[in-house]
Amino acid sequence: MIIENLKLALASIKANKMRSFLTMLGIIIGISSVIAIMTVGNSLTKAEEESMSSMGANNIMVGVYTESDTAGEMPTFKEETMQGLVKAYGKRISAIGIDSQVGTGTARSQVSNDGKTTSVTVDGVNSGYFKANNVTTIKGSTFAKGAYENGTNVAIISDLFAEAIFGSVDKAMGQTVEINVDNNYTTYTVVGAYKFENNGSMGTKKSTVFYIPLKTAQNQLHSTDVYGFTAVAKNSDDSSALSADIMSYLQKILNPDNDEDIVIYADSLQSYIEEASKMLGQITIAIAMIAGIALLVGGIGVMNIMTVSITERTREIGTRKALGAENYQIMLQFVTEAIILCLLGGIIGVALGVSLGLLASSGLGYPGSVSMTSVLGSVGFSMAVGLFFGYAPARKAAKMNPIDALRYE
């Protein structure tokens, strides 16, 4: 009986191609809108998650600041404070990254006289900085222990810097570079190079980061003050708990009097990722729900067309009833037709929505990401629309009096 109803439904749709297409149009527009929006939303969420994860999902950003100009002297993270932190939570921390920015200036080779210069941001870093910020050398090495301890004038440059000044990364190794920051000239020896990644953090194609040892930077700044650092949790599942423990520890050390003007924070990047994903997901769903109104309009269209179709086929219904068809069989026939109509519209809508969503994501520069849950949910919902809006016309057909139906002109 189900096969027979499917054949009848497809035959009816085929016999009225244009009307069937126009009936499905509302479903197609509704489903394609929802799928396209969900696809773009998922692509954006995935891109943001990957971008933040590339910065280190286990990272905890720690800092201190004052909320009032009248507050007392702002505390800093001194060496003994950092040592105490490592002693207390060293088993849960894989690295602590500290940096102190000297400033932005121009650089040129001391060997070549071709006049080539480039802009750089000079940043002093400790040994844990590279791990905390996923910076790896592609040539040479990171700084030796002695360079950190003695404040040696050595540097790690980006591949863009090496190509701009020396022509290649290989040619840059061991060369000397003169940096001018606020008319203060300092010479450094290149010991390593890293691949520049423009992830929205420090550095652009016009100004890449020029890394030097932290103590070298502090000697130039005449200050050892540290107002922020990055702690890397060994386990990402522990990052939220560890951030709370670090903040509690530092609060006791740096702000024992609970001065409200002094703010100490320790925020895990994992929590940022989760919050961003949650927010983007909620926005996507809200917009998709608005687009879903088109589905309801499409459903009403299906109900109207099914009512017209039943009126046109009144004599057919009367004949079937006269030949012994039960009410539920008549009802099932027309409900099946409504479901098939909406299902076909849903499938076309999904195909169109996925195509539009991937095209829009590509245009925005995001990697395409299609949610199979959304696809399957949309197909299922389109069938539910057919069942819901096809029920009333089908029930009307099932209740027809066969004698009156046969007399219908």
Taking only the tens place, the pLDDT of each residue in 137-190 is: 999 989 999 999 999 999 999 999 999 899 999 999 999 999 998 888 899 999
The answer on 377 and 317 residing in a single domain is yes
The answer on 239 and 185 residing in a single domain is yes
* Cβ-contact 36, 353 below 8 angstroms: yes
Domain tally for the chain? 2
The answer on 329 and 227 residing in a single domain is no
The answer on 120 and 21 residing in a single domain is no
Tokens of 324: 């012994």
The answer on 387 and 289 residing in a single domain is yes
Tally of helices (H runs) and strands (E runs) in the chain: 15, 11
Give the per-residue pLDDT at 15. 76
The answer on 30 and 113 residing in a single domain is no
The answer on 77 and 198 residing in a single domain is yes
The answer on 313 and 225 residing in a single domain is no
Strands annotated E in 292-405: none
Q: Give CA angle at 143 (58, 164), nearest 5°.
A: 95
Burial 314-327 (b: 16+ CB within 10 A, else e): beebbebbeeebee
Residue among 134, 102, 295, 92 at smallest CA distance from 217: 102
Domain edge (last residue) among 269, 301, 324? 269
Give the per-residue pLDDT at 55. 62
Domain edge (last residue) among 239, 269, 299? 269
Low-confidence ranges of the chain (pLDDT < 70): 1, 5, 9, 49-56, 69-72, 110-115, 198-207, 291, 408-409
The answer on 376 and 298 residing in a single domain is yes
Show the domain range for 113: 59-269
Please report, for residues 2, 37, 302, 335, 345, the alpha-carbon distance to residue 385 in angstroms, rounded to integers and kept in the order given: 19, 20, 9, 11, 11
Give every CB contact of residue 106 below 8 A, 6+ residues apart in sequence.
Answer: 117, 118, 119, 120, 179, 180
The answer on 261 and 344 residing in a single domain is no
Give the per-residue pLDDT at 110. 62
Domain edge (last residue) among 269, 295, 321? 269
According to DSSP, the β-strands at 59-66 and 154-158 are unpaired
Write phi, then psi, for 174 (nearest 5 degrees). Answer: 85, -5
Give the per-residue pLDDT at 198. 65
The answer on 391 and 284 residing in a single domain is yes
Give the per-residue pLDDT at 213. 96
Q: Write out pLDDT tens, residues 279-327.
A: 877 877 777 777 677 778 888 888 888 888 888 788 888 888 888 888 8
State the pTM of this model.
0.59
The answer on 321 and 256 residing in a single domain is no
